[in-house]
Structure formats: C-alpha cells, structure tokens
C-alpha cells in the first residue's frame, strides 16, 4: 500500500497545463514540480508528519488556478490588515500581484522588493538559482504543487550590512472572486551578510467561500544577518492554507519567525530551518487561535548542523468550540553540533470541553554535549489566577477573558517591532474581551 494518495487527477491536469505554458526561465522548475507531484501526490494520515491532519477533503476539491481578478478591491478594505500605510507593501489579490494596490515606490536604502515576475526579468539567473534551493520541489506534494505553478510571489533582497528598520509587508488577499481557486506563490527572502530586516507575510481572506493557498517561502540568512519574518494568517473561514517556510542560516545569523494563525478551515504551516553556520540561532514563536470547527497545524523542524547554535521556540494555542490544534516541534541535532542550546515550549489553552490538541515534541540528538529541553502543557484557565482576579472584584467573565488574553500575550510580547506587536495584541484583546 502506498502511504500517499495518487496525485488527484484534476490537479495533475492543471500542473501539466502550467508546465506547457511556462515561460522559458521557469519551464524546468515547473516540469520538475509537475513530475514530483505526479510521484508524491498529497499526503495521507499514514504519513507520520500528517498523522493528525487529513487533507482528504482538499484532494477531493477541484480548485482551479486563481486569475488575479482584483476588481472591486479598495484600499479601505485592506486598511485593517496593513499595520502601517507608510510601510512598503506588495499586495496580491486572488493569486496575482496587484500593482495599483501596492506601495513599493519609496523603499528604504539597501532593500529590494519585487514581484516575482519582475524579479525574473530584472534579476534573472540570480533568482532562478535560488528557487528550489531551500525548498526543493520533491520535498513533499505541496512544495511540488507550488513548484509546478511557479511564477507568482515576491522577492525581498537586503544588501549586505544594511539595517532596514521599516518592515516590508507582503499581503496576499483572496476575495469572493477567488472562491474555488488556488494560489501557489513563492516568496524568496534574502538577507546578505550582516543585514537586518523585517518582513511580514500576511494571508487574508475577504470571503467566506472556499479556496486554497499553498505558498512556499525560501529564506536565506547569510553570515551575521538578522531576519524577522512574521507570518500572519487570517485566511477566510472556509479556506485551505498549507504553507512551507524553509530557511538556511549562515554563521552568527539569527532567523526570528513569528507565526500568527487565526484563519482557515484547515491550515498547516511548516517552518523548517537549518542552522548551518557556527554561532547562529533561531527563534520560532507563534500563536494559534481557533474556534468553530477549524483545524490548525503548525510543524517546526530545526536542524542543528553546526556547533554552538541556539534555538528558542514558544508556541501557544487557544482552542475553542470543536477546533483542533496540532503542534509538532522537531529538533534535530547532528553529531558535530556540539554545544547546541535548544529550548522548546508549547502551551495550549482549551476553552471548551470539545476542543482538541495534539502536541508532539520530537528531539533527535546525535551530539553528546548539548542542552536541549522541551515542555508541553495543555490546560484550562488557571484557577488560582482566576481567583486572584475575582478577589479584586473583577467578575468571572471578565477575569476569564483577561486571563485568556494574558495567555496569548506572553508570545505576542516577543515581537520586536512595536507597531506589529501593538496591532496583534489589539486584535487578540478584541477577540476575547470585545474591547481595547
């Protein structure tokens, strides 16, 4: 018995069509993607990493490539998701770059932000060489699918030693016009030596209809560079969202990821990084808040490939109604990666008796002189804390709301950029307390 579905027929047809129509520079990549997808198909729950997340309903759906129809989308509609109107923002509507809604004319020094199509023309080989390096097409069915539709997305490049304080925002929006569609954008983030920058990748659904987002981000953090990468997933209630982030890190670099998840009927985020230079580190934090029948899965994999590297992870979930959360955190320490310092924390707050979580920390350690810890908790609101609030006269409902917010705030507080932190704290506070 194969452990994967055969590639669903409709998707295979679509990948073949995409290869046939590919521009020259992308033809080889798309063909490789289509071939890999034909081989791999979509994973079943028999695949270990997909044990708790079934994509069977996705395989049965018949999504067609989105056509980028941005008609009727206004700046006002996007405003609530922008963080700041003064930040360079590249907007994609229904799978395609929307120049009229984007604001990337006045970029800070040292940073380039390009839609993928333009990057292919102006940077050509430089981009082609990077595509598929960190996230090869044959990694799994979803990266294969993404590769077979290669063409949309963005390239962010930070020149060496440039410290860019202003965040760059990549905003992917789906509207009613994108219902029934799928999008496979590729994002390349490249921070050269000793550069520092912040990139936000937002996924927003302005529709209650079903669609499928399948982005892949490839991240290069060269020696001494620091890259803050925030993935804010607020897809529509019926959306499918499967995304993979693959980072490669050089010596003394720092990759800082924050993964904020509230959207989608079924979402899965894979964050993988390879600590491939001495003294580098990664911080992967996240907050998932689900209700109704939502299913949200976060998987991390940190490969310690060189000595003296650190990794820090704090992932929290707040699950209500019959929602289902999954967290799987893998830390892989190679035999030469001595003095590795790894710490993983995963806490889940269940707000209802029917919400469910599957949390699995996985440590695979082949070096003998390392410090790796992990801890996972699943619980309800702490009764002592609840009593503390009530003993100050605050009523039970409000006490519960504030404590729920407090649980979330502990991860949000780790976001370095104040504007982003304040905004997400506000979103979270309103979610639980209906006030600011």
Partner 1 sequence: MLEIRDLHASVDGTPILKGITLTVNAGEVHAVMGPNGSGKSTLAQVLAGHPAYEITGGEMLYNGENLAEMDAEVRAQQGVFLAFQYPVEIPGVSNAYFLRAAYNAKRKAQGLDEVDPMEFLDLVEEQLKLVDMDPAMLHRSVNAGFSGGEKKRNEILQMAVLTPSLAILDETDSGLDIDALRIVANGVNALKRPENATILVTHYQRLLNYIVPDYVHVLAGGRIVKSGGKELALELEARGYDWLLEAVA
**Structure tokens, 114:** 């390009």
Handedness of CA 97, 98, 102, 108 (dihedral sign): positive
Please, which residue, 58 or 408, has the CB nearer to partner 1?
408
Shortest distance (Å) from residue 418 CB to partner 1: 13
Please, which residue, 291 or 425, has the CB nearer to partner 1?
425
Please, which residue, 55 or 287, has the CB nearer to partner 1?
287
Footprint of partner 1 on 407-426 (CB under 8 A): 407-410, 412-413, 425
Residues that contact partner 1, how many (by CB under 8 A): 27
Among 399, 415, 424, 427, binds partner 1 (CB under 8 A): 399
Q: Which stretch binds partner 1 (CB under 8 A): 138-146, 308-316, 348-356, 382-390?
A: 382-390
What is the C-alpha to C-alpha distance for residues 305 and 275, in angstroms, rounded to an integer? 6
Please check whether residue 282 is in contact with residue 250, taking contact to mean a CB–CB distance below 8 angstroms. no
CA 187 to chain centre: 11
> Does residue 381 bind partner 1 (CB under 8 A)?
no
> Does residue 406 bind partner 1 (CB under 8 A)?
yes
Could you please report the per-residue DSSP string of 46-72?
Answer: TSGGGTT---HHHHHS--EE-----TT
What is the C-alpha to C-alpha distance for residues 92 and 95, in angstroms, rounded to an integer? 6
8-state DSSP, 42: S
Q: Which stretch binds partner 1 (CB under 8 A): 95-103, 219-227, 325-333, 401-409?
A: 401-409
Site string for partner 1, 341-380 (x = CB under 8 A): ----------------------------------------
Of how many residues is the chain composed?
436
Among 388, 419, 422, 430, binds partner 1 (CB under 8 A): 388
Backbone angles phi, psi at 76, to 5 degrees: -60, -40
Among 366, 398, 426, 430, binds partner 1 (CB under 8 A): 398
Place of tokens 């079924």: 266
What is the C-alpha to C-alpha distance for residues 81 and 420, in angstroms, rounded to an integer? 11
Residues that bind partner 1 (CB under 8 A): 382-385, 387-396, 398-399, 402-403, 405-410, 412-413, 425
């Amino acid at each position: 018995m194969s452990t994967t579905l055969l590639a669903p027929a409709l998707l295979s047809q679509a990948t073949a069509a995409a290869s046939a129509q590919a521009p020259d520079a992308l033809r080889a990549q798309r063909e490789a993607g289509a071939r890999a997808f034909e081989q791999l198909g979509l994973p079943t729950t028999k695949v270990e990493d997909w044990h708790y997340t079934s994509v069977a309903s996705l395989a049965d759906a018949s999504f067609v490539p989105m056509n980028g129809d941005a008609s009727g989308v206004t700046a006002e509609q996007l405003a609530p998701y922008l963080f700041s109107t003064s930040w360079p923002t590249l907007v994609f509507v229904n799978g395609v770059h929307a120049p009229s809604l984007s604001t990337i004319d006045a970029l800070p020094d040292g940073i380039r932000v390009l839609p993928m199509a333009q990057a292919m023309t102006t940077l050509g080989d430089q981009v082609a060489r990077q595509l598929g390096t960190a996230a090869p097409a044959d990694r799994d069915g979803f990266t294969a699918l993404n590769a077979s539709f290669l063409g949309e997305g963005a390239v962010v490049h930070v020149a060496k030693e440039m410290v860019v304080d202003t965040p760059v925002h990549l905003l992917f929006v789906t509207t009613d016009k994108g219902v029934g569609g799928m999008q496979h954008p590729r994002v390349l983030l490249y921070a050269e030596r000793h550069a520092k920058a912040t990139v936000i990748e937002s996924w927003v659904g302005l529709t209650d209809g079903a669609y499928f987002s399948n982005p892949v981000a490839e991240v290069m953090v060269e020696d001494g560079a620091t890259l803050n990468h925030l993935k804010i997933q607020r897809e529509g209630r019926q959306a499918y969202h499967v995304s993979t982030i693959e980072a490669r890190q050089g010596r003394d670099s720092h990759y800082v990821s924050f993964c904020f998840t509230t959207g989608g009927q079924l979402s899965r985020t894979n964050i993988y990084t390879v600590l491939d230079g001495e003294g580098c580190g990664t911080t992967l934090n996240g907050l998932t808040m689900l209700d109704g029948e939502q299913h949200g899965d976060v998987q991390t994999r940190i490969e310690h490939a060189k000595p003296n590297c650190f990794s820090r992870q704090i992932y929290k979930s707040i699950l209500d109604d019959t929602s289902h959360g999954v967290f799987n955190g893998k830390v892989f320490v190679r035999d030469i990666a001595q003095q590795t310092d790894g710490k993983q924390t995963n806490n889940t707050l269940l707000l209802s008796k029917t919400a469910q979580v599957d949390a699995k920390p996985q440590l695979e350690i082949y070096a003998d002189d390392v410090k790796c810890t992990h801890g996972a908790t699943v619980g309800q609101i702490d009764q002592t804390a609840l009593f503390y609030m009530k003993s100050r006269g605050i009523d039970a409902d409000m006490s519960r709301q504030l404590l729920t917010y407090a649980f979330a705030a502990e991860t949000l507080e780790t976001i370095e950029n104040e504007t982003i932190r304040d905004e997400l704290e506000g979103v979270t506070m309103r979610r639980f307390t209906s006030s600011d």
